[in-house]
Amino acid sequence: MNAQRLRNALVDTLLVGTVVLLLLFFYAPIATLVAFSFTSSRVLTLPIESFSLAWYGELFSKPDFLPAVRNSAVVAAVSTLFATVLGTAGAVAWIRYRFRMQAAFRALTFAPLLFPQLLLGVVMLLWFSVLGSWLGFSNGLFTVIIGHVVYITPFALVVVAVQVYGFDETLEDAARDAGANGWQVFREVTFPLLWPGIFSAAIFAFLLSWGNFYISYSLAGTARTLPIFVYSGIAVGSSPIYPALATLNLVPALLLVVTAEFLRRRALKRQSSGNLAS
């Protein structure tokens, strides 16, 4: 019996150890980059002799990266809006409705998820190039936005679909019985219940778009987003301003995740106190 317990303890340790190692693996490059952004030295090797904000100063003294930040923000904001709205509508159609050609609709809206981003980018690049030569436009931010919407909407759809799947539709019936019309049911019952899923989908969408390299790289033409700017920088040679820039790139994502977690906790708390009151 003791041997059995020992073995169980060993299995537990191994399993928990895998997760710990995996987290270390995930955060090793991110932590390295952040650490090197604070070095005072010109070479990016250990040991870091002293810490300074010199490279952040250097970065802001020559702010040629700001247009890239603006482009990234515009692309992420617009694609998040479209991907979340389209993904939410799609998720409801996926899970709650049954209609002719639903299988085709599901395949069509899920397929981009099975495409490597580079291929998705190339396929759309070909189409926009042909279209552009017919209609007389060249690729720019709007083609990047279209590309991001195609790539990100399936992710948003899956995230919302999980929420729709756990949806209690008797609440809608109750609202209808109480005399609410279709729009009121949607606004007062359906939307609030789906909101957590929609909110996570929007965060997912924003971060996927903000950090996207492959599709932007294929479709941006001469425009630059932040990941493209960093990519061209590391291709040229690893100047210490790039770890600083990359660290700044993390900040909006971090703020967003922290805010989301805060809101989620508050909603949970409110929900449980609401249950107590009833």
Partner 1 sequence: MKIEDKYWRDPVLLAAVAPLAVVMIAFFLVPLVMTAVLTFQTTQYYRLSWSWDLKIWTEVFSKPHYWTIMVRTVVMALVCVAICIAIAFPAAYALATRLKTFKTQIQILIIFAFLTDAVLKTFGWILILDKNGVANWLLMHIGFPADALNLLFTPAGTMIGMVYNLVAYPMFTIYLSLVRIDRDLVLAAYDAGASRLRTFFEVTLPLSRPGLYSGAVLVFVLSLGAFLEPKVLGGGTAPLASELIRQSFETRVNWPLGAALTMVLIVIGALMLALSSAFALRRRSAPGRPA
Contacts of 40 (CB under 8 A, 6+ apart): 49, 50, 51, 52, 54
Among 118, 174, 263, 267, binds partner 1 (CB under 8 A): 118
- Does 45 help bind partner 1 (rule: CB under 8 A)? yes
Among 18, 40, 52, 259, binds partner 1 (CB under 8 A): 18
Least distance to partner 1, CB of residue 13, Å: 10
Contact 82, 154 (CB under 8 A): no
What is the C-alpha separation between 20 and 83, in angstroms, rounded?
Answer: 33
For partner 1 (CB under 8 A), the number of binding residues is 87
Least distance to partner 1, CB of residue 108, Å: 5
Among 38, 55, 65, 242, binds partner 1 (CB under 8 A): 242
Instruction: Give the number of residues written for the chain.
Output: 278
- Does 257 help bind partner 1 (rule: CB under 8 A)? yes
Contact 240, 55 (CB under 8 A): yes
- Does 220 help bind partner 1 (rule: CB under 8 A)? no
* Of 232 and 278, CB closest to partner 1: 232
User: Cis bond leading into 47, ω under 30°?
Assistant: yes
Alpha-carbon Rg for the chain in angstroms: 24
- Does 221 help bind partner 1 (rule: CB under 8 A)? no
- Does 97 help bind partner 1 (rule: CB under 8 A)? yes
What is the C-alpha separation between 145 and 254, in angstroms, rounded?
Answer: 23
* Of 110 and 278, CB closest to partner 1: 110
What is the C-alpha separation between 193 and 164, in angstroms, rounded?
Answer: 9
Residue 249, classified by CB atoms within 10 Å of its CB into exposed (0-12), middle (13-18) or buried (19+), is: buried
* Of 77 and 130, CB closest to partner 1: 130
* Of 111 and 277, CB closest to partner 1: 111
Tally Cβ neighbours within 10 Å of residue 209: 27
- Does 197 help bind partner 1 (rule: CB under 8 A)? no
Q: Between 138 and 177, how does the x/- string for binding to partner 1 read (CB under 8 A)?
A: --------xx-xx--x-----------x-x-x--------
